[in-house]
Amino acid sequence: MHNPYYKTLQNLAFISGIAGVLLISITMTSTGCTYPEASHETSVPVTPVVEQVEQDALDKSIEAHGGIDRWRSFGSLEFTFGRGDRVEQHHIDLHSRRTLITTDEYQIGYDGSDVWITPGLDAFSGSPRFMNGLHFYFFAIPFVLSDPGTNREYLGRVRINDQEYEAVKISYNDGVGASSDDYYIVHLDPETYEMSVLLYTATFRTQTPSENYNARVYEEWQEVDGLLLPKKIVSYRWDAEGRRLGDKRGEAFYSDIKLSKTSPEAALFAPPPDAEIDTPE
């Protein structure tokens, strides 16, 4: 999973026309390549179509969910996460991405440097570092896919369960987040550009790139302070050969969502005296 802590295509076209003869000489100084002269009857701006569509697909989705400016205007997020009998209270500093997860059995926090757990590592059966920010990231897609260090690859129109979607693959620069080898493929409604299906890899433990995906379907939405945010996300296994959703794995619900313009106090995320640090192996 990915918990981020945080191409420019230089297109120079110099066009000069004289008496119906147009000479174009383009020199790409960054590569040292010089293109030969060519004649054209009209002057038409060169547009990299694939790059434009790639950019538009995800940007349109972010806009459909409220816009990146509105998202970035908030400093604090709270929500309740429920899955089966498990209920968690999440607090997130949206600027620093410090986190606090509270349950009846334990607390997991990230203070900006370390991931800690109280009353101790034995209180949680998994890895606190893996859990830290996990459900927030799924919740905050597509907005977090514009974080620094993310890369986009437009995959065009694809089908899942015979339904057509706009698809964009996300990868990460080395060292971004806890597992920068993760891949995400967002599948967007081609009419509304709302998030529909997310394919994702999990490389936290192996730290090795993989094309073995799991799937999450964004089934229900709720509007909070001008943002369209998930209410229900359903997890499935992924049938890559048939490009179909496999067996259902579970349902997650997000409720009691609160957004604030101001960031929480740093003390909220500080480890208490009895906390243990979950150090990398």
**Parallel, antiparallel or unpaired: strands 184-188 and 15-18:** unpaired
Name the CATH code of domain 51-277 (choices 1.10.8, 1.10.3470, 2.50.20, 2.40.30): 2.50.20
Residue bearing tokens 């964009």: 168
Q: How far is CA 3 from CA 26, 30, 253, in A?
A: 42, 34, 20
Q: Quick one: which of 207, 252, 221, 217 has its CA closest to 238?
A: 217
The residue among 269 and 2 whose pLDDT is bigger is: 269
The conformation of residue 146, written as its DSSP 8-state character, comes to G
| Number of other CB atoms surrounding residue 70 within 10 Å | 16
pLDDT > 70 in the chain, percent: 75
Q: pLDDT tens across 212-227, in order?
A: 899 999 999 999 999 9
Give the end-to-end CA distance of the chain in Å, rounded to a whole number.
17
**Dihedral angle over CA of 70, 74, 78, 84, nearest 10:** 30
What is the number of H-type helices and E-type strands within the chain?
Answer: 4, 17
Give CA–CA dist 107/89, Å, rounded. 9
pLDDT one-digit tens code per residue, 192-245? 999 999 999 876 555 555 678 999 999 999 999 999 999 999 999 999 999 999
The Cα–Cα gap between 209 and 179 comes to: 9
Mean predicted confidence (pLDDT) in 67-71: 97
- The residue extents of the domains of the chain are 15-47, 51-277
Q: What is the pLDDT of residue 11?
A: 36
Strands (E), 85-188: 86-93, 99-102, 107-110, 115-118, 150-160, 163-172, 184-188
Task: Considering only residues 203 and 114, tell me which one the structure prediction assigns the higher pLDDT.
Answer: 114
In 3D, which of 166, 124, 140, 197 has the Cα closest to residue 2? Answer: 140
The chain-wide mean pLDDT, for the chain, equals 81
Residue whose token pair is 């949206």: 94
Give the whole-angstrom CA distance, residue 53 versus residue 68.
Answer: 18
Q: Is 185 exposed, middle or buried (0-12, 13-18, 19+ CB in 10 A)?
A: buried
Residue 240 to residues 161, 167, 197, Cα–Cα distance (Å): 11, 15, 14
Q: CA 96, 72, 148, 32 torsion: positive or negative?
A: negative
φ/ψ (deg, to 5) at 178: -80, -20
How many CB atoms lie under 10 A from the CB of residue 181? 18
- Residue 65 scores a pLDDT above 80: yes
Q: What is the pLDDT of residues 141-178, one digit of tens each?
A: 999 999 988 999 999 999 999 999 999 999 988 755 55
